[in-house]
Amino acid sequence: MRRKPFCVVVCFLLTLALCDCSWAQQSTDNKPAVNPLVRVLQAKGILTAEEAAQISQASSASDADGRLAKLLLMKGVISQADYDLTVGAPGMMNASSTGASGGGVVAAVYRVPVSNGSNSGARSSGLVDQGAASAPAVVPAVAPLRVLPIDVPKQGGLIPDIKLGSGANMKLYGFFKASAVSDTASSGGPTFGSQDFPLPLLLADTGPTSDPQVHIKARSFRIGSQFEWVPKNSNIVVTGRVEADYEGDFTNQNSVNISSPRNGQLRTRLAWARLDTKLAGSLPWFAEFGQDWTLYSSTLPSLFETTGTAIAMGALWERAPMFRTGVQFHSGNLKVQPEFAIVLPVAGTSALSDEQRARFGDRAGPESNQPALESRIVFQFPLSTSWQGVVPAQIIFSGHHARINEIIPFGNLPTSVIPGAAGCATATCSIRDFFPRGLQLDHPQNIWTAEAQLPTPWVTFTGKYYQGGDLRFPFGGQLNDVFNDLNGAVAIPTAVAAAVTALDSRTVLFGCTGATGTGATFNCNGNPIVAQSFRPVRGLGGFLEASFPLSRIFNFDSEGHNSGWALHLSYGTDRTRAQDVRRSGANGLARTDLDSGSLTYRLNKWVTFVQETSYINTRAANRGGKIFRGIPATQAHSWRNEFGTIFTF
């Protein structure tokens, strides 16, 4: 039964009648007078002194209206329908909408369209457009997950949970998530064989069976905070965000390994600050500094499983330190936002030792001595201005370029004499003689994407296509980065000279053009020794998703117990060029497909239940080139079921 805030409504009417006042009253300094209802609610303990002060700082009567109504909705004093009747304009308000940067269904359960129907203000700044009112009393359509929204934040729009002594405002958000998983096959091997999130199959042998597994996951706790600073007499909006979770970064100590399975440490996901203003008084411009989603991460599938979010199965994404800027152009209901960023270049090197990875994470990217360059352009527009509770559509294009530089120091080069090698400074030649100062090898890392997010009242379509080379870091290309290419030369066998590694532990090949023989009979036949090239493994992929607001389709009561049903159906694929992965250094995987269906039931704004079923299919580039269930295999598949709960705050 729907709860009516009868006492609050009566109090509101009596206060207005007795005091003969209205929301339109103004004080002598042109600010709205403090509404008597605010004093009454503060006296009854419904509003705190800080919240009452926040309302009194409103710039207009409508601003004060909006702040009070949203506070009452957040506290559960009034329902969504009562809020709609009070404010009476489109756009859905939800007090716990701040987690849109999470990923998949987890973020979807507490993201919200604000003001013009987009959920972007929730992630971009945590600010609500105080001059706009909220949504119709209908079940909203499914909003696409937008980790990089484009709505411009409003100064003073954040209603804080904590007001810091420095004058900054702070609002907390997050979720607790627990789930049970059944998986009919694993990825295999000591490294990938016991994961509680899906990876491509055929990464290693699974033993005599497909290695079916059951997992109980309770490490998906996430917490974040939004910040806002309100400078006096300034047209600059200053916002920020810090977000962390326990999804990764596991400890490796004896006591933990014995007593606490998968005991994670808190790790940073997002940490950025942002300045917004208007150039020439009308053109919105922003500059952001810190760690955020990369610009090619704009569109993600609404999956319940967010530890990996379709790693190497069609969802290309990452978070990285960056400096980012952009402007926004308006023409009627159309918004166009071009953006540019300089980003930490990362290779995602798989050969790093545990100590190297813990110490600096990656080195081959920064040693290129240049940042990665990224850009994107977003076109946002409503598909129909008459639809209620439907966010605008987006069409997005993005690109990424970086150079990755491998260093092979002089001391890593062997001194063994190579038979028949000629052209060095000595009578007999070794690899070290040809490269007396060591050498450097670099390669490009390129990505481009095309994305679409098309919400309607009946179904929301989202899709993404990507293509590029060296896609391991953004979770594409079947987790390949590069392959070794001797450009036609014959490789010097390890029986003649020891294997050579770069500083990041990657193997480097050397050879001679025109060489003959194998093993101890190898001979360069008077030709010089040459080094290999690193070539990016080329890949492509993407996903298509259809999300159905079942409660809206079946016309359920927006305030009833059946108002929170939704269904997500998606297909994703990640593929490599077979000729690339057949070369030395690649993992031999050609393609992984993911079919997924998620049925979600939102009990209320705090609790959601999800059942997700997925089918994973991986294919190798070489026939019989992999081992699965202890026998040669070209293809493997797995059925995965995950059921769980999400408690948001």
Q: What are the structure tokens assigned to 585, written together?
A: 């250094």
Mean of per-residue pLDDT scores for the chain: 83
**pLDDT the model gives residue 105:** 42
The least confident of 30-34, 66-70, 464-468 is 30-34
Model confidence at 127: pLDDT above 60 = no
Model confidence at 296: pLDDT above 60 = yes
DSSP string over 148-189: S--PPP-TT----SEE-TTS-EEEEEEEEEEEEEEES----H
Percent of the chain past pLDDT 90, that is, above it, reads: 60
**pLDDT the model gives residue 159:** 81
**pLDDT the model gives residue 6:** 42
- 79: confidence class by pLDDT, cuts 50, 70, 90: low
**pLDDT the model gives residue 76:** 63
Model confidence at 552: pLDDT above 90 = yes
More confident residue, 282 or 24: 282
Reference 230, options 167, 165, 160, 275; nearest CA is: 167
Reference 305, options 616, 647, 611; nearest CA is: 611
Dihedral sign for Cα atoms in the order 183, 646, 87, 55: negative
Q: Where are the alpha helices (DSSP H) in 31-118?
A: 36-43, 49-56, 61-74, 80-87, 104-108
More confident residue, 420 or 38: 420
Model confidence at 536: pLDDT above 80 = yes
Model confidence at 157: pLDDT above 80 = no
Instruction: Name 234's Cβ contacts closer than 8 Å, sequence gap at least 6.
Output: none
**pLDDT the model gives residue 40:** 73
Residues 322 and 292: their CA atoms lie apart, in Å, by 7
**pLDDT the model gives residue 41:** 76
Model confidence at 98: pLDDT above 90 = no
Q: Are 408 and 397 in contact (CB under 8 A)?
A: no
Q: What is the mean pLDDT of residues 101-115?
A: 37
Domains in the chain (CATH in brackets) are 1-88 (no CATH), 169-487+533-648 (2.40.160.10)
**pLDDT the model gives residue 56:** 72
3-state secondary structure 363-407: CCCHHHCCCEEEEEEEEEECCCCCCCCCCCEEEEEEEEEEEEEEE
* Torsion of the alpha carbons at 348, 352, 353 and 358, rounded to the nearest 10: -40
Model confidence at 110: pLDDT above 80 = no
Model confidence at 406: pLDDT above 50 = yes
Q: Are 158 and 626 in contact (CB under 8 A)?
A: no
Residue with tokens 């009627």: 332
Model confidence at 588: pLDDT above 80 = yes
Dihedral sign for Cα atoms in the order 580, 581, 582, 583: positive
For residue 304, give Cα distances in angstroms to 87, 118, 148, 212, 641: 33, 22, 19, 20, 11
**pLDDT the model gives residue 530:** 95
Q: What is the mean pLDDT of residues 508-535?
A: 93
Model confidence at 395: pLDDT above 80 = yes
- Residue 360 has φ and ψ, to the nearest 5°, of -140, 0
More confident residue, 422 or 34: 422
**pLDDT the model gives residue 85:** 62
Residues 272 and 288: their CA atoms lie apart, in Å, by 7
Model confidence at 16: pLDDT above 70 = no
Model confidence at 627: pLDDT above 80 = yes
Q: What is the mean pLDDT of residues 135-160?
A: 85
**pLDDT the model gives residue 156:** 77
**DSSP at 461:** E
**pLDDT the model gives residue 542:** 97
Model confidence at 290: pLDDT above 80 = yes
Q: Please report, for the chain, how many H helices and E strands are present, in that order.
A: 13, 28
- 598: confidence class by pLDDT, cuts 50, 70, 90: very high
Q: What is the mean pLDDT of residues 635-641?
A: 96
Residue with tokens 């905070």: 225
How confident is the model over 419-477, as pLDDT tens digits?
Answer: 999 988 888 899 999 999 999 999 999 999 999 999 999 999 999 999 999 999 999 99
**pLDDT the model gives residue 8:** 45
How confident is the model over 162-191, as pLDDT tens digits?
Answer: 888 888 899 999 999 999 999 999 999 988
Q: What is the mean pLDDT of residues 364-382?
A: 94
The least confident of 115-119, 167-171, 497-501 is 115-119
3-state secondary structure 247-305: CCCECCCHHHHHHCCCCECCEEEEEEEEEEEEECCCEEEEEEEEEEECHHHCECCCCCC
Distance of CA 86 to the CA centre of its chain: 36
Residue 482, judged by CB atoms within 10 A of its CB (0-12, 13-18, 19+), counts as buried
